[in-house]
Structure 1
């Protein structure tokens, strides 16, 4: 193991680069891997013992006690952010005696002060940080502190200054009343005018959507009705966060009604652009790649949340359509199919009863027509758009046949009609390949493969990624916008970068091939360099490599597709958590500040942005599985995670053979299988739990609110 890979040194070898610049502190003599990791911090650490306590008495200083363990993610975050920082170290060294304890070596110390932390704060975890008197009595406790105030958490520097001043001016009251000190610390948390958004804005968005919800047919408003998938993924997150059953009900009613309506291609799969009526019956027949991708994601998440195989079946039908009709031989995904064929809108999709009976025969034809509401008068210019308006079980009972028999009749009938339809003149296909929409489709296939436990969906995502990397990048590695007829052109826009990074992150979380995570970081870096607004925050739609027009735009509204800023916002948080890169998270925080006032005006118009806000507000679960990818117990854990709706989760697989992951996520270096068993390392709300091998305990922790 190379001790120079990343910021976290080997547990058994000091960071040689650091050792050339700094002298080791007293922890260099300790055997604990955790203490060895901190041996070259500029903080003058002491191990727990009389030497430290005597120094505190002699110099009349309070004690800062920090407890953790070598494989604790947020312990490493705090080390990198604060304990490696010269400003923090100077404050600690001048005003405190600092002690490091390995909880695995000294669980007795950990147990006592963890109880204190839980009593004071109502929660606990690691890193555990306690301020003590020289008599080892605690007067303030907490877990992870960011260096400066963030997400409502008080900043570590401000805490150190405040406690130091308090100790010097009124040590007696500090010793007498931990509660008083706690109140002082809480009172110092600053409020920023027009600053960070809270969950209240999510609640308001939910209420706005609820007030326009169609309780009979689902969806929002009357007509036309658009399938806006980020509305549903947001509502699922609000349901998960607030335990508000109507939010889930709204999603389920809408998704079910849409998939039973004419907006859904009942024979070929996939969704048309929108419904011209409130019933989801008469569509605008155009089919867009981005709708397939975003709706596949919405139905996948509904399957995870509600556990109904019906939603998984719709996802599979969408994918079947995309693979059959919207995938190029080279692996890229085409953009769209027209609404018209032979100059007539919808002609390709509609039927008469006579056509159906001729193909299926009298008996099955009648059953099919009755079930899909096909009549002589028709519902669209004298012909029929197939849709379902009858409950399946009730219809089977009415026909006097079993549900299984009805299912088989309908399945074979659809196949026969589809074969006939294929011989018709097809609508025009727009066969250009757009990087942005391909990014969405990659994310959809990856998410579907993981949630449905269908490895066959991985390969289409991999092929599309390879197509973009091989075909839609310039010589500098920047993305291009479009490919068609052998030509790739036009410098990519914000959406191209943001959507593609989204796809790469999701693909990593199902394949666990670190090259995809590494590529996501590289593309994200180029995006920041080219699109980030250094003055106002957020991303411009056009970057430095795009043509400079008379004005630049900065999109945040989530319309037919989510805005690039909304997607980039979540990407930054996910990548930040996956790699321990605080700079990315701070940039995401700036996006909140940049667009906060805009979002407040009508939050329901920014539901993809609110999906990212949900992640940022936490609590997040950072999950590292230490095990080999083809190992049975590893697969069992990954399957259990994939089938659950965990929208505020990041997932890494720590294989001993994967050295690249150590370089880009150094905190995983010491996260290893225990007793050769696949082991879950789970951190939540800036605190890490003890490692777990037992699948039932892992599931319990995953499902905990």
Structure 2
């Protein structure tokens, strides 16, 4: 027996299609049903790779008695947070305000007009550690709804009003050289000098903060900034967070030493980390960083690429209901290779198994044999929906890495994904959030979709020279400026469009979390587009947006990492490199290779025939030879014709 979720496009919703709970997708009809029956709405939000979402589903949503109680006393709505980040953002803010923390599964009780009156996360099947059981919670909510109905409605209205007050844009505050140096000092105060990273367990990659530190080092020579970036990069790549056999990174480490990961692998993490390790390899020329970047790119192409040409959202943390079972090993299974992976007879995980680290390299045939053996095991599930924003991150990362490592197949894969998004996700000039198997979803794109996809298309334009990608990116930016801007607050943006579905409030979160906020992604793409296409309005909009994040960057730089990378680019110029000449001319190739190896973060680079792209206009050959033009901000050097002269100019 299946419920209404059987026809959902989301793999997460389909995981619940066989529950005895009479689930609804988020839709007006669900709330009409609650209004007609005068019952509250249970809103359950999660995602396909979420371990505790699976646990709660098994313990409670698959329980016939719990389901019967829900069906009699509630209208139950299930939401995939990756498909509807707007719904997730609104009610996560409520959950955090009510409980002091948040996470998934998120469990929120709503009135029939969608106003929240109680919120939490995971609830166990029996009382535990001061928490009520899920059944006890349901009974308490039902009793309150029956006996304190008016008070609940009043309370829910007050919650909505309070949350609305928090939606006001931050006042402008400059993010200048002093502010950027101050952010480095703040991060140094939170830095784990022993294990790398920031804060304690659980420990997340913080890839955007690391990217900022790398850019700051490039601009200022800061030893502290580079040290924080490299110590963390080494610790992540040498610990269990990184898949030592198959490449790619898990979502986070459950401990402070990067030893035991939470095993799900997310597209956004791997796109961001591929870009960071590529940039770090350029700065340090470390063979280890190069290998990590290469293996992460191959992981994306091997394990997350879909038949439609896009990239799947995630791989699950669990295999057949057991967390991490695909990835862990016993000491005996590894045999003589155990020492190289840091595995001893004392296991570091569950059931006598250990995660793999990196002590020293092993012969490639050993890794290949272990990976082949691992591939024979049951494999984690894959959420194969294609999310616009996350594919934009993957496109940017693969385009840049493909150019730097001279891997044209990576650039081709990025182009294929871009084709899918423009052909399927872009409908009458507006983006949709997802597709699956080449079939578009129904949820409207949010601000991060426009910003991240534009960023990916701009990266593709730079490495291919194709004007199509530049034109498409500028079209997305124009739409975002027209439909997401906060009126009378230059530089501030909502996360949903002015004609999107109306929720209890219009979300607007400028915080960088696991991925760039919509506003910071847009700001970065606007700045890049202003260098590549020329409109001064784009640069003005980017500058205004950065100042709106000034207070956030000063108070919590870990959660303003992408804002700080954009501010670093503004502070350094940004740098533009235009290379003119025939593609078949080896002298142009030499200039291109030199630029790729020395280009600072935030810079742009385009090569092509004179006048074949906006950045190449009015930039002729020099004495009939290919030439490179280097500019910083609005000041340009004299064109150069040799790789050595170009490197000197970039220094």
Q: State which of 158, 172, 177 in structure 2 corresponds to 1:199.
A: 177
Per-residue CA deviation, residues 358-389 of structure 1 (Å, 9 max, x unaligned), is xxxxxxx32x0122133333111133334336
Matched ranges for 1:150-549 at <5 A: 194-356=172-334, 365-366=335-336, 368-388=337-357, 390=359, 392=360, 407-408=362-363, 411-474=364-427, 476-489=428-441, 490-537=443-490, 538-549=492-503
**Contact 1:375 1:384 (C-alpha < 8 Å) held by counterparts:** no
| Cα distance in 2, alignment partners of residues 579 and 273 from structure 1 | 36
**Contact 1:206 1:604 (C-alpha < 8 Å) held by counterparts:** no
| Cα distance in 2, alignment partners of residues 565 and 372 from structure 1 | 41
**Contact 1:236 1:248 (C-alpha < 8 Å) held by counterparts:** yes
SS in 1 for 2:257: coil
Per-residue CA deviation, residues 49-95 of structure 1 (Å, 9 max, x unaligned), is xxxxxxxxxxxxxxxxxxxxxxxxxxxxxxxxxxxxxxxxxxxxxxx
**Contact 2:591 2:643 (C-alpha < 8 Å) held by counterparts:** yes
Deviates more, 1:602-611 or 1:647-656: 647-656
| Cα distance in 2, alignment partners of residues 389 and 420 from structure 1 | 19
| Cα distance in 2, alignment partners of residues 692 and 314 from structure 1 | 34
SS in 2 for 1:643: helix
Displacement of 1:657 after TM fit?
7.5
**Contact 2:172 2:550 (C-alpha < 8 Å) held by counterparts:** yes
| Cα distance in 2, alignment partners of residues 245 and 465 from structure 1 | 38
Provide TM-score, normalisation by structure 2: 0.71
| Cα distance in 2, alignment partners of residues 350 and 604 from structure 1 | 31
The answer to whether structure 1 residue 560 and structure 2 residue 514 are counterparts is yes
Q: Larger Rg: 1 or 2?
A: 1
Deviates more, 1:463-472 or 1:542-551: 542-551
| Cα distance in 1, alignment partners of residues 416 and 376 from structure 2 | 29
Provide TM-score, normalisation by structure 1: 0.66
Unaligned runs of 5+ in 1: 1-192, 357-364, 393-405
Q: State which of 523, 536, 540 in structure 2 corresponds to 1:586.
A: 540
| Cα distance in 2, alignment partners of residues 694 and 542 from structure 1 | 48
| Cα distance in 2, alignment partners of residues 633 and 376 from structure 1 | 57
Per-residue CA deviation, residues 274-304 of structure 1 (Å, 9 max, x unaligned), is 0011110011011101111011011111111
Matched ranges for 1:21-40 at <5 A: none
Count of residues in correspondence between the two structures? 479
Structure 2 equivalent of residue 644 of structure 1:
598
Structure 2 equivalent of residue 24 of structure 1:
none
Root-mean-square deviation (Å):
1.8
| Cα distance in 2, alignment partners of residues 505 and 685 from structure 1 | 18
**Contact 1:379 1:385 (C-alpha < 8 Å) held by counterparts:** yes
Q: State which of 674, 678, 695 in structure 1 corresponds to 2:622.
A: 674
Per-residue CA deviation, residues 584-633 of structure 1 (Å, 9 max, x unaligned), is 11111221333333433333421110110111222322221111223211
SS in 2 for 1:491: coil
Misfit runs of 4+, over 4 Å: none
Structure 2 equivalent of residue 655 of structure 1:
609
Distance 1:449 1:486, change over 3 A: closer
**Contact 2:260 2:355 (C-alpha < 8 Å) held by counterparts:** no
Q: State which of 541, 546, 561 in structure 2 corresponds to 1:607.
A: 561
SS in 1 for 2:435: strand
**Contact 1:504 1:520 (C-alpha < 8 Å) held by counterparts:** yes
| Cα distance in 2, alignment partners of residues 326 and 418 from structure 1 | 17
Displacement of 1:573 after TM fit?
1.3
SS in 1 for 2:273: helix
Per-residue CA deviation, residues 100-137 of structure 1 (Å, 9 max, x unaligned), is xxxxxxxxxxxxxxxxxxxxxxxxxxxxxxxxxxxxxx
| Cα distance in 2, alignment partners of residues 690 and 657 from structure 1 | 18
Displacement of 1:453 after TM fit?
2.5
Per-residue CA deviation, residues 295-348 of structure 1 (Å, 9 max, x unaligned), is 101111111111112111101111111111100112100000111112110111
SS in 2 for 1:497: helix
Displacement of 1:485 after TM fit?
4.1
**Contact 1:213 1:250 (C-alpha < 8 Å) held by counterparts:** yes
**Contact 1:305 1:645 (C-alpha < 8 Å) held by counterparts:** no
Per-residue CA deviation, residues 456-489 of structure 1 (Å, 9 max, x unaligned), is 2111101100111111121x12111011144312
